[in-house]
Amino acid sequence: MKIVNFDADAVSGSPDTPEWHAWRAQGIGGSEAAVIARHAGLLEDAPQWVKTAHQLWAIKTGRVEDTFRGNWATERGRQGEDPVRQAYEAATGILVSPMFGEMELHPATRCSFDGLAFDLVRGKPRPSGRGRIARTP
């Protein structure tokens, strides 16, 4: 994974910046997981807000504008990021930081981590996903 920075003065930046939104719009990340699951037949009764694969393609290729500006779930998740990080740090004594990255082999595959603890990295992740990355108390 390649770490992506949006602010030269910060470790990684903020999802509240125009730079982050522009970067996010150029790739596929966790927010598109439901679209992919729906297209693969893994999500049968998709909520109305889940786009079709064609809608996602049209947005990502700039043919149409994405009109989704959030809902109660995205707002609740966003509001909870800082308090959850702080609670985790208080409970464990382990510092975590928000981080943004993209796959080196497939840079359009992107991620926005709410919080990572770098002092717990045990080894390189394996492609199978069985590599031990970190522990959660």
pLDDT tens-place string over residues 42-67: 988 888 888 999 999 999 999 999 88
Edge-to-edge strands of the sheet including 97-102? 2-3, 97-102, 110-116
Our measurement of the distance from residue 133's CA atom to the centroid of its chain's CA atoms, rounded to an integer in Å, reads 17
Closest CA to 16 of 87, 98, 103: 98
Give the DSSP letter of residue 109: B
Q: Which of 11-20, 56-65, 115-124, 125-134 has the lowest mean pLDDT?
A: 125-134
Give residues with Cβ within 8 angstroms of 120, minimum separation 6.
94, 133, 134, 135
Give residues with Cβ within 8 angstroms of 63, minimum separation 6.
57
Q: How much is the pLDDT for 102?
A: 93
Set out the domains of the chain in order of their start, with CATH numbers.
2-120 (3.90.320.10)
